[in-house]
Each structure stands twice: as C-alpha cells, then as structure tokens.
Chain A
Amino acid sequence: MSAMTRRQFLRVTGATLGGSSLALMGFSPGEALAEVRQFKLARATETRNTCTYCSVACGILMYSLGDGAKNAQASIFHIEGDPDHPVNRGTLCPKGAGLIDVIHSKTRLKYPEYRAPGSDQWQRLSWDDALDRIARLMKADRDANFVAKNEAGQTVNRWLTTGMLAASATSNETAVLTHKVVRSMGMLAFDNQARV
C-alpha cells in the first residue's frame, strides 16, 4: 500500500488537484483500520415496555443513556422489539420501529399553556395556575348546571354541560382513576376512542 498520508499527498500534488482527481489516481490517504461501527447498545440500560400504538401490543426494549446511576439522566436513544414477546417475537412494524422519533418529537409539549378568548397566541403558565383555573371553570359550570332531580322528580344527579374524552393509549391505572373521578362529579358525556 502507498504509505502516503493525505497531507503529504496534497503537499506533493498541490492544491489544483481536486478530490475526484485523487480518487482517479487510485490513491487515498492512509486508511483507518477497517472495522465495523461500534455496537451502540453495549452497556445501555434496557427497559421493557409495550408499543403505544395498536392493540397487538408488541413488546419493546428501550435503550437509554446511562446505567441508572443517580447522576446519569436517562434518555432513550434506541428502541427495538422484545424477542421474548410471544406475539411480536422481536419484530416491530414501521410505527413501532419509529417510536423513538415520537418520544423525541419536536412537537412534544413541555409546559402548560393557555390561549385566551379571541387570542391567536399560546402563553405559558404554571401548573398551579393551570390546574386552579381549570378546576374553577369546572366547578362553576357544575354548580350552575348540575341536575339533582329531573322534571319528573326522579333523582338523577347528573352534570351534562361538561364532557370528557379519555385516552385510549393511556394505562389501565389512569383509566381507573379517571373513571372514578369523572363519575363522582356526575359527568355523563364521557367517552373514549372505542367509537371512532
């Protein structure tokens, strides 16, 4: 092999020779050791999860930065299928294979935000502020419109003027808590994606 380094070669041939000429000469600078790219998962932390999209519910392995030490902030950098999972056996569809980009999507929300009536802007607000204001709006509406008895005098205890849609990709645990909170308030216009 030619022992010429790139630098030496340039010095010899002068700056008039472009890269493509170098190529045509059949030369290249002293090559790096031919070796494959470093395997990137070697000591990453592996966490088992379930794909959040369809109801096949493929097992996934999420690989994150750091080894779980207190001073290392975990950040997921790669996801692939869980080979032990009886249904997907390590496979993932294009959606599952692309999960990482939705976790890190530029359009992920980071702070509570508010849009005032008539405005065309979002404005940031604190959690305390947001939750307080929402709770007050809900209570005011409930107080104004709660129906304890219907026209026939039957006990109905319902609140029809505020509704809610629950998330169909959230956990059972969220669902259980959401359901009991919502029904305790008397809400009936309450649904999830099952109908659409």
Chain B
Amino acid sequence: MALQSLDIIRRSATTLPEPQARGAHTGQVAKLIDVTKCIGCKACQVACMEWNDLRDEIGTCTGHYDNPHDLSDQSWTLMRFAEYENPKGDLEWLIRKDGCMHCADPGCLKACPSPGAIVQYANGIVDFHEENCIGCGYCITGCPFNIPRISKKDHKAYKCTLCSDRVAVGLEPACVKTCPTGAIVFGTKEDMQQHAAERIEDLKSRGFEQAGLYDPEGVGGTHVMYVLHHADQPQLYSGLPEKPKISAMVGLWKGVGKPLGLFAILATAAVGFLHYLRVGRNETDERDEEAARRELEKTP
C-alpha cells in the first residue's frame, strides 16, 4: 500500500499522461465511517488537527454540538449532529463525520484550473498540493459534497488528505486510528465493503431495515464511505446528498464559460491559453456534459 501512495494517476489541469506502469494491485484504500457506531465524540476532529498541525478558532456555542461550526482550512473534518424523530416516535441522534469523500471521479480535481494543485494517487486518495493552489475556489464548485475551504490567511484551498503522509508509510489515517468506538475503519476498499456488509446485517437484525452502504455511483464511488441506518434517506444526516454528482458548472467552465469570461486577458496570456486549449480539459463523463448543456440552454 505504502509505495503506491506516491503514484499519481490524475493531476489537475493537465492531460500529460501520468506514469501508468505501476498499479494498486493489492487494492485501493478506503475509509469506512459507520455512522451507527459513532458517538460524536470528536476524537477524529482533534486527532486530525493534532496530526496535521492545525488549530481552528476557539469559537462560540450557537445552540448546537457542531464545533467548529463549519469545515475550514483548519478543520478538515467535522461532526454534524441531527436530531431525528423516527416514525415510531423514538428519538435518534444522527451524527455524521463530514469531510472529503475522496471520490473516484473527483469533481474538485476536474474543476481545478491549476496544474498539479489537485492529484489523485493510485491508492485512491485525492490530495491537494497547496503550493500549486491559486485560491480560485473552483474545487468548491466542483465538489458535490461542499468540502474544500479557502484559507483566509493564504488564500489556498484545504481539505482532508486522508493522511496521505501516514498512508504513504503504511499507517492508517489519524482519525481512523483514534476513533474510540471503531466507527471509522480503514483498509482496502474491498475489505471495507465486506466490513460494511457485516454491519448492515447486524443493523437489519436490530430493526433498521433500510440500513445500507453509502458509496455513491454519481462520483464513481468514494474512498470514504458511510454505513447508514437509513440509507434510503441520506439527507437525514445533516444533508448528505442523496445522489451526488459533479456540478454542471464544472462542465460549463471547462467547455464554454472559461474562454468567454477570460477574453479580456487573452492577449497578454495568449501563448499559455492556447496551450491550455490544446491540451484541453480533463475527461468529464457524458452525464456532466449533458447536464452542462441543459444548464446552458436555461441561460437566457
């Protein structure tokens, strides 16, 4: 696993082929978050900040357990708490660890105009390289889960790296290691799917008929997956999207919007821009293109 980590299979804003010879022959990695085991203790948040040398602001209480209130350049993961009264009249406290899903088909990477600012490793991790980031925020538009955040300090985008530095040396991510109840587990994607299947069976035996795995196809599956008690209603979990897909705007930008919008500065940067046009956009799937077209047609 360790050696694969450094093998990049995709890089933002470039189509120059990446080295292809090596592959993830023993499986890609995945993190499985079993929401049904999670007690919302925030150990993952603390371990994340501690390992990554981040310190968010000491904020305020606004009548919720969610602290900090949102993801930021300093908070790459966050517990989101939702109180839900089920049809039986019993209360459920649905607590979801939010953060980067490490999509197999990453909208952020596709949207990113800066070469090498976002990469995808052979092991499945989608990583930001802030030294290449220009702070445009397109990754946010591209992300169907609303994850990346721009730092107010350095105007660069940040998000969970899945502790690529730990995974690179054969360790599990910090949040996974620390999770007291074993709600966060880590391994090959296949093993995690297997683990999820066992959990789902247990949940069904406890009356959660709709228990299931969240590994959405719209983004090609994810390397961070959830076990949900109510897989039929992901939105119960603080708005987890039911059918996430890459924003039509990504296709739009890559297709028509960008050259039009930038016409005014084309002259001075013509050489570079032509180069960009020549190498073209990243692959977007047909549904994105279709969505983009629909979006364009709607535009007056």
Contact = CB atoms under 8 A, between A and B. Distances in A.
Direct contact of A and B (CB under 8 A): yes
Interface of A: 1-2, 4, 9, 12-14, 17, 19-29, 31-32, 34-40, 78-81, 83, 88, 90-94, 96-98, 100-101
Contact of A17 (B46, B131, B136, B265): B265
Contacts of B165: 36-40
A10 B242 CA distance: 44
What are the nearest 7 A-B pairs in CB distance?
A23-B136, A31-B116, A23-B134, A28-B114, A97-B46, A37-B165, A36-B164
Contact of B168 (A2, A14, A22, A36): A36
B209 to A, nearest CB: 31
Contact of B275 (A2, A91, A93): A2
Given A26-B276, A80-B47, A19 B116 contact: no
Contact of B129 (A4, A20, A32, A88): A32
B192 interface: no
A178 B248 CA distance: 70
B131 A26 contact: no
Nearest to A20: B136
A32 B180 CA distance: 37
Interface string B113-150: 11111010000000101011011101000000000000
A90 to B, nearest CB: 5
A88 to B, nearest CB: 8
A187 B2 CA distance: 60
Contacts of A24: 113, 136, 258, 261-262
Given A19-B135, A24-B136, A39-B166, A94 B42 contact: yes
Given A1-B16, A40-B165, A31 B115 contact: yes
13 contacts: A2-B115, A9-B269, A23-B114, A23-B135, A26-B115, A28-B13, A34-B8, A34-B119, A36-B168, A40-B165, A78-B50, A81-B177, A91-B178
Nearest to B281: A26
A1 B165 CA distance: 26
B180 A14 contact: no
B189 to A, nearest CB: 19
B124 to A, nearest CB: 14
B6 A35 contact: yes
B72 interface: no
A22 B50 contact: no
A96 B178 CA distance: 9
Given A28-B13, A28-B134, A32-B131, 11 more contacts: A26-B113, A31-B117, A32-B129, A35-B6, A36-B127, A80-B174, A80-B178, A90-B177, A91-B43, A92-B178, A94-B42
A20 B180 CA distance: 42
Q: Is the interface of A mostly helix, strand, loop or mixed?
A: loop
Contact of A32 (B13, B132, B167): B132
Interface in B219-277: 258, 261-262, 265, 268-269, 272-273, 275-276
B179 interface: yes
A118 to B, nearest CB: 34
B51 interface: yes
B296 interface: no
A91 B180 contact: yes
B35 to A, nearest CB: 18
Contacts of B114: 23, 26-28
B161 interface: yes
A100 B50 contact: yes
Name, among A38, A78, A80, the residue most crowded by chain B CB atoms within 10 Å (CB to CB). Answer: A80
B36 interface: no
A79 B178 CA distance: 11
Contact of A13 (B8, B174, B268): B268
Contacts of B117: 28, 31
Contacts of A91: 43, 177-180, 182
